[in-house]
A = this chain, B = another copy of it.
C-alpha cells in the first residue's frame, strides 16, 4: 500500500464491533482518521457508505467502504499483510479461527446486552446462556495464551472488546468472572499487555457507567 493511503473509520467509542477494527489497525500500525458518529443523527457519510445496514463500524479505504467488523478485520489482514498476521496461514487453522470468531460474533453481544437490558425470566435465561457460552470459550482457550495458540488473532480480536464489559457482567449478572472463568480473565489481562488493546479499550468502570447511563435512558431502573 502506498504512503498516500487514506484510511477513515466511522465508529462509536464504546462499540465492541468498532473496537475490533481499532485493535486490528493498531496491530498493523496503520494511521487513520477516527470519526465518532452520533447514532441519533447519523452522518450522511455513514448512510452513503453503509446503505445496507446503516451502522458503524465502517472502514473507508481510499474512498471505498468496507462494512461488518469481522469482514473489515480480514480485509485489514489481507491488505496490510507485511506484519502481525491476524489469521494463521494453514487452511484448517484458518477455518478454526473463523469458526470461533463467528461463534463469538453470534453469541456474546446479544447475550451480554440481554443481561443488562432485561429482568425476571428473560434475564435468568440470558445469564444461563451467557455462562454456557463463556464456559465453551474457557474450554476452547484451555491453557493456550491466545485462542489460536501462541499468536494473537481474529478470535481474540472478536472477544477482547468484551473484556471491558467484565465488571458490568459481574454487577448485572451477580457473578464473579474470576471464579467462573479464570482462564478468560488471565487471557484478558494478557491481551491488555498489548499496546493495541490497552490503548483502545475503555476501562471496566467507565464501561459500567456508560451502560448504567443507557439503562436509565431506556427506563430500566432497579
Assess whether A108 is interfacial by the CB under 8 Å rule: no
Assess whether A7 is interfacial by the CB under 8 Å rule: no
A99:B67 contact, CB within 8 angstroms: yes
A94:B68 contact, CB within 8 angstroms: no
Q: List, in ascending order, chain B residues with CB within 8 A of A34's CB.
A: none
Instruction: Using C-beta atoms within 8 Å of the partner chain, give the interface range for chain A.
Output: 20 to 34
A79 to B78, CA, bound (A): 18
Q: List, in ascending order, chain B residues with CB within 8 A of A169's CB.
A: none
Contacts A52-B103, A103-B52 given; does A92 touch B71 at CB 8 Å: no
- The DSSP consensus for interface residues of chain A is helix
Q: List, in ascending order, chain B residues with CB within 8 A of A98's CB.
A: 68, 71, 74
A94 to B95, CA, bound (A): 16
Assess whether A72 is interfacial by the CB under 8 Å rule: yes
A52 to B74, CA, bound (A): 23
A71:B103 contact, CB within 8 angstroms: no
Q: Can you name 9 A-B residue pairings with CB atoms under 8 Å?
A: A52-B103, A61-B92, A67-B99, A68-B98, A68-B99, A71-B99, A75-B91, A78-B91, A78-B94
Which residues of A line the B interface, CB within 8 A? 52, 61, 64, 66-68, 71-72, 74-75, 78-79, 91-92, 94-95, 98-99, 102-103, 136
